[in-house]
Amino acid sequence: MAGYVIDFEPIGRRGTVGADQSILEATRELGVDLVNLCGGAGTCGRCRVQVLDGKVSEIGANEQEHLTKDELDKGWRLACETYPQADCKVHVPPESLTAPQRTQVEGLEVAVEPDPAVVAHPLELSAPDLSDLRADGDRLLEALEQERKVTCTSIDVETLRGLSPRLRSQDWKLRASVREGEIVAIGPPEGRQLGLAVDLGTTKIAGYLLDLEDGRTLSSHGIMNPQIAYGEDLISRLSRAMESREEATRLQQLVVDGLNQMAAVLCEEIEGDREQIVEAVIVGNTAMHHLLLRLAVDQLAMAPYVPSISKSQDVKARDLGLRLAPGAYVHFLPNIAGYVGSDHVSMMLATGLSTAQRVTLALDIGTNTEVCLVSGGELCSVSCASGPAFEGAHIKHGMRAANGAIESVRLEQGKVTYQTIGGATPTGLCGSGILDAVAQLYLAGILNRGGRMDLQPGVQDDGDLREFILVPQEDADGRSAITITQKDVRQVQLAKGAIRTGIQLLLQSKGLAEDDIDEVIIAGAFGTYIDVGSAIAIGMLPHLPLDRFRQVGNAAGRGAILALVSRAKRREAHAMAGKVGYIELASSPDFMNVYTQSMYLGPYRADED
């Protein structure tokens, strides 16, 4: 059989496909789980991929409809309508993938001039003899000064421990990694300088391994945050850490172990070594930041929710128990407040918010949702306690975004269609599925604006509980039908109401209306997978044309990469964090009123009774 070799990036799947197979068909054969709601009919427009290299079929009619000219020019296609005509390299963005790639680690090449905090200097030293008895370290420091015009004042003690044997085994040739006047690592002259960027989420951790010299992402990897065993949300973890010093240490150790394993996996993929990682940047919400650093959290968990520190910090990796290069530092981007962490700053950095000229709203949706409004060059953020409903918690058939989770729901003329992650038999609903379900029920008139469920076909009521049957028992993998209950709807209303309250109070504080927003940026794993139309339908997001929305995936991770590769970006983040205004929602006099209005389904109205 004649065929072509296709490389799927960045997931690294490769295989041969027949000459008459579409890219979508190729993904099925190669086990790449591409989203396709319409089953390959070209109508849902979800199976977007970017052809990076190779020849493919002409652009089809459905593609003209679903993709902009700019996207088509950049090689974006629908996988179901595109047929390889030669060997190809195809980029699959995370939003086109179903789980388990959902830990969001796409390794985007970031367009920034590399200017890392750690710079490598190759050197060849003279060996000591009776006429030159200088100590090894002194010899190295003097060569740096004379040959590279780099003034160093110290050698990290752990690095120094390996210096003398290494100089001799490498025949006095080496590569010194210098950071702000300190030698933090010594390697072979041809060695690589790696950097580690981490987005430390409450639920997921995404890690990226970079070549610090050219700024390329070499590998990426996602894991669940191992602290989950100690509580799914921030508050339960903070409470745990407050119990005792031992518990706090245990929580820290869990995440440190996870990060060490992640670093090992990332290095393995490129046949590298953790000792080559000379710098790391870690971003996360303030609680994750504090738990990793094992800072006190009592004052963070209680009003007025004050962090131990917000300013950026450089901490030796070894002081955290991280096993990287002996003298490596971890740089922590600044936090803004107790519930607005460095992941938010990182997202703002990655999306260029600080230089945004138009009115821009940026959201990072999660258990805690941070929202930032940019207008007239001013940035202002709020934190909304949106809760874990979109993580599947407190929802009768809720579940995480794992295999078998319903991630997308449509209800047309009383008929339910859905897609599960991995195409598996449905076992429950993940966040985007829950959102879709509530939106579809509202659009179908089964839920009213107040969120009350009407007793229409598909809805059952045992007197105690009213629920809509999405998947009948015989089609479901569980012991029962998969439903959306009246209580589930209330949970979603609470969650979306919190988010919408943040948006409204931000707009009010600047005297702006919904329609003044030029662009809405949606970041984060959940935000990547949601159907924006559904989010608008229930009133979670402003009622604006779809082209004003941009789903940017893990922008926090991308910001961490930027801060890892570029000192200029690091400075930008610090400057930005210093000038972001922060509104404490609960202290706004209008809070209760706005919150009440925000809980209604459908477009937001300030004056609803």
Would you tell me which residues interact with a second copy (CB under 8 A)? 128-130, 133-138, 141, 154-155, 157-158, 160-165, 168, 293-296, 298-299, 304-311, 313-316, 318-320, 335, 337-338, 582, 584, 587
Nearer to a second copy, 154 or 485 (CB): 154
Nearer to a second copy, 38 or 315 (CB): 315
271 CB-near residues (< 8 Å, 6+ apart): none
Task: Judge contact between 495 and 502, C-beta under 8 A.
Answer: no
User: What is the SS3 string spanning 520-578?
Assistant: EEEECHHHHHCCHHHHHHCCCCCCCCHHHEEEEECHHHHHHHHHHHEHHHHHHHHHHHH
Would the CA dihedral through 596, 602, 603, 605 be positive or negative? negative
Strand order in the sheet with 204-211: 217-224, 204-211, 194-200, 277-284, 329-332, 313-316
CB of 464 to a second copy, least distance (A): 42
Tell which phi-psi region holds residue 25, choosing left (phi > 0), alpha (psi between -120 and 50) or beta.
alpha
Nearer to a second copy, 71 or 158 (CB): 158
Task: Judge contact between 84 and 118, C-beta under 8 A.
Answer: no
Tell which phi-psi region holds residue 385, choosing left (phi > 0), alpha (psi between -120 and 50) or beta.
beta
Q: How many CB atoms lie within 10 A of CB 547?
A: 8
Q: How far is Cα 528 from Cα 428, in angstroms, rounded to an integer?
A: 20
**Angle, CA of 95, 206 and 280, to the nearest 5°:** 135
Nearer to a second copy, 220 or 501 (CB): 501
Q: How far is Cα 305 from Cα 303, in angstroms, rounded to an integer?
A: 5
Nearer to a second copy, 148 or 316 (CB): 316
Nearer to a second copy, 286 or 528 (CB): 286
Is residue 603 exposed (0-12), middle (13-18) or buried (19+ Cβ within 10 Å)? middle
Nearer to a second copy, 532 or 573 (CB): 573
Nearer to a second copy, 320 or 359 (CB): 320
Nearer to a second copy, 16 or 239 (CB): 239
DSSP state of 463: S
CB of 100 to a second copy, least distance (A): 35
Nearer to a second copy, 32 or 297 (CB): 297
Nearer to a second copy, 59 or 160 (CB): 160
Output b/e per residue, 287-300; b: 16+ Cβ within 10 A.
bbbbbbbbbebeeb
Task: Judge contact between 335 and 308, C-beta under 8 A.
Answer: no
182 CB-near residues (< 8 Å, 6+ apart): 152, 153, 154, 155, 156, 327
CB of 169 to a second copy, least distance (A): 11
CB of 584 to a second copy, least distance (A): 6
For residue 593, the surrounding DSSP H or E stretch is: helix 591-598
Tell which phi-psi region holds residue 404, choosing left (phi > 0), alpha (psi between -120 and 50) or beta.
left
CB of 341 to a second copy, least distance (A): 11
Nearer to a second copy, 111 or 133 (CB): 133
CB of 307 to a second copy, least distance (A): 4
Nearer to a second copy, 245 or 605 (CB): 245
CB of 273 to a second copy, least distance (A): 19
CB of 217 to a second copy, least distance (A): 28
DSSP state of 101: G
Task: Judge contact between 402 and 430, C-beta under 8 A.
Answer: yes
CB of 561 to a second copy, least distance (A): 23
CB of 598 to a second copy, least distance (A): 22
CB of 292 to a second copy, least distance (A): 11
Tell which phi-psi region holds residue 568, choosing left (phi > 0), alpha (psi between -120 and 50) or beta.
alpha
CB of 253 to a second copy, least distance (A): 15
Q: How far is Cα 519 from Cα 504, in angstroms, rounded to an integer?
A: 15
Nearer to a second copy, 275 or 531 (CB): 275
CB of 103 to a second copy, least distance (A): 28
Alpha helices in 40-184 (DSSP H): 61-66, 69-73, 136-148, 157-169
CB of 211 to a second copy, least distance (A): 28
Is residue 321 exposed (0-12), middle (13-18) or buried (19+ Cβ within 10 Å)? middle
Q: How far is Cα 206 from Cα 185, in angstroms, rounded to an integer?
A: 25
302 CB-near residues (< 8 Å, 6+ apart): none
360 CB-near residues (< 8 Å, 6+ apart): 353, 373, 374, 375, 517, 518, 519, 520, 521
Nearer to a second copy, 165 or 450 (CB): 165
**Angle, CA of 104, 106 and 108, to the nearest 5°:** 140
CB of 399 to a second copy, least distance (A): 36
3-state secondary structure of 61: helix
